[in-house]
Amino acid sequence: MKYLLLYICCIAALLTSSCKDGAVPPTQTCEIDFVDSSQNHPKAAIYQNILNTYVKKGLPGAVLYIRDDNGVWIGSAGKADIDKNINMAPCVVSKVASVTKMFVGTVAHLMAEEGKFDYDDPAAAYLPAEVVEKVANANCATIRQLMNHTSGIYDLTTNSKFYLEVLNNPDQTWDSDELIEFAYGQDANFACGQRADYSNTNTMLLGMVLSKIAGRPHHELVKEKILTPLNLQHVYYYSNVGLPANTAQGYFDLYNNGTIVNVSNYNTGSGNGYGGMYATVRDIAIFADALFRDKTLLKQATLDEMLTFNEEDPYIFLGLGAMKRFSYKGDTKFAYGHTGRDLGYSADCFYFPNQKTTMTFIVNYGTNAKSGLKQTFLDFEDAVITEITK
């Protein structure tokens, strides 16, 4: 998700009882199930030093994956579980948050290829009448506009009542029918198609549309069309499936005093299109490669649709289920993919076409709200991108 309300620090005391009987149990150690040749990569020491540097500066833990012309490098630093003293490792599963949107968007593109719908079909044709009536712009938004965030529909995760519910009922399992009520009666941000503005509600509604068209839950479509064909055995779409024992704990500097708190089990709506995926860096890299490097998931014409971007924001260009980022660093230094930012977790999943480099990382620290470590995280990301594109 893109935003976490800044008022959260004012009601942080509600979190003191977190992590009891939640979806994320104490983390257990794990072993990789692939051949690791990272030590042969010429930049092995450089990338490992970046990880070590920013963990020393306060990030709890991180795993970084790089695939370029020199091969694959994967490394880790810090802790997956601070209380249990479990080291972060390449085999650790972590929440990748809004990277979920790229999976759901890809499913939509595959269904469009199958002739299940047209991008410019009205979303209202597939949504419940109550949603169309009570969500501003749901009556005019097209499926394309849900996918590229040009619908103008209010972002339900910016509603203060939503986060109050999350804090008061941290382990609640949400469904889309419940979540959409946080958008009822809220003004649209702009007229349908007028401009682009990132909204988690868009992708949740897209998931509802796909489920209606297919006649079954969209998470089944994700498994059928992406996870199974790519043999992604370490991707878990919570809360539709359980999480493995090697799942990292998620942390946040809740009181903004330099002390991080375990917020792993606060469910911000997982499993409803806009977030909820947990994965290893290697598995999301395989997904990115299939999409952008090898181009085996989508037809070229469909990929061109996905990579048609609104370029109003110089830092994040929004496409149909994907982002284009880092163009501000230079005309040839951009990447295709998606970011993931949540309450206690962060992730990146990108392919740099000019550098022929796939980069994914997970960090078990939340970067939606302001905190002293948010800039540390951004500096970490920038250090990685700078090394890739130099």
Convert the pLDDT of each residue in 222-268 to its tens digit: 999 999 999 999 999 998 899 999 999 999 988 888 899 999 999 99
Least Cα distance to 368 among 332, 329, 340, 338 occurs for: 340
The DSSP code sequence of 146-212 is HHTT-S----GGG-HHHHHHHHHSTTPPP-HHHHGGGGTTPPPSSSTTS-----HHHHHHHHHHHHH
What average pLDDT does range 285-313 have in this prediction? 98
Take residue 70 and report the two structure tokens written for it: 């020199």
Question: What average pLDDT does the segment 286-312 reach?
Answer: 98
What pLDDT is stored for residue 255 in this prediction? 80
**Number of helical (H) and strand (E) elements in the chain, helices listed first:** 11, 13
Average confidence score pLDDT of the chain:
94
3-state SS, residue 318: strand
C-alpha Rg value of the chain to the nearest Å: 20
Residue 145 and residue 123: Cα distance in Å, rounded?
Answer: 9
CB 336 within 8 A of CB 350: yes
Could you give all domains of the chain from N- to C-terminal order, each with its CATH number?
30-389 (3.40.710.10)
Residue 257 pLDDT: 86
Give the pLDDT confidence of 339-353 residue by residue, as tens digits. 999 999 999 999 999
| Confidence band, pLDDT 50/70/90 cuts, at residue 1 | low
Sheet holding 94-97, edge to edge: 94-97, 277-279, 235-237
pLDDT value at residue 331: 94
Is the Cβ–Cβ distance between 77 and 51 less than 8 Å?
Answer: yes
d(CA 140, CA 73) in angstroms, rounded, equals 46
pLDDT band per the 50, 70, 90 thresholds, residue 128:
very high
Is residue 13 predicted with pLDDT exceeding 50? no
Please report how the helices 44-56 and 372-389 are oriented relative to each other, as an axis angle in degrees rounded to 10: 170
The C-alpha atoms of residue 299 and residue 296 are separated, in whole angstroms, by 8
Burial grade of 45 (CB within 10 A; 0-12, 13-18, 19 or more) = exposed
**With 70 as the cut, is the pLDDT of residue 117 above it?**
yes
* Helix/strand/coil for 20: coil
pLDDT of 5: 41
